[in-house]
Amino acid sequence: MSGGPDEHDSSVERLTPVVRRLILLRHGQTEFNAQSRMQGQLDTELSPVGLEQARRAAAALAVRTPRAIWSSDLQRARLTAQELSTATGVPLTIDDRLRETYLGEWQGKTHVDVDAALPGARRTWRDDASWAPPGGESRVNVATRATPVVADLLAVLPDWGIGDAPEAPVVLVAHGGVIAAMTASLLGLPQANWPVLGGLANTGWVQLSGHSFDGEPPVWRLDVWNATAEGV
């Protein structure tokens, strides 16, 4: 007697659900962070506090057995990512599309400096994803260059979300501005709503899950925002 789907029917196989875990990890603290100084694409170093934060984050995320680790080429992100790579044995891939927002004339200045020169400008920048600092990038610009990294990951990791370790995440190590822009873009938020995503702590991370049927592009959902390894 028929009526149920054939377990070998290719139409049923195409409807197999796939969930891909994506973790976006911010770098550890730098001296610029500690001084409320704007870094942008300046290649600042991790402070001793930041290096310890990176080690703690690596210990917390290593138990998730990452499928792949990609990082911004700026050393504060790269060195944070290297701690996770060392802890897991997963090779590190560097991609300069994950660099922080280019802040133009603001790079190297403190928040006080910027507020004195352009009162209200930082608030406009926070509230309008299409607004860019003088000579710099907007969050929309950043999302346009950085979000395609995820499409490339889908292409080079055909077994992401399936196989022997379907829960194993891909980890991207980047910067607060890039992570916020990518998250808003992947979630398909209207640009007017991008500012609802608040700031990230140093070595805070975001988890997204990409839901799809096998062979289809994922629809991304937000699972976690600004988790940290404090207490690990």
Cα 56 from Cα 115, distance rounded (Å):
34
Question: 């020169």: which residue's tokens?
Answer: 117
CB-based contact 32:39 (threshold 8 Å) = yes
Find where tokens 């994803």 sit: 129
d(CA 146, CA 211): 20
Helix 148-156, helix 176-187: angle, nearest 10: 70
> What span, in angstroms and rounded, lies between the C-alpha atoms of 137 and 195?
16
CB-CB contact of 35 with 183 (8 Å)? no
Residues with a catalytic annotation lie at 27, 100
Spatial contact of 202 and 33, defined as CB atoms under 8 Å apart: yes
Distance of CA 75 to the CA centre of its chain: 16
Q: Which two tokens stand for residue 102?
A: 């280019």
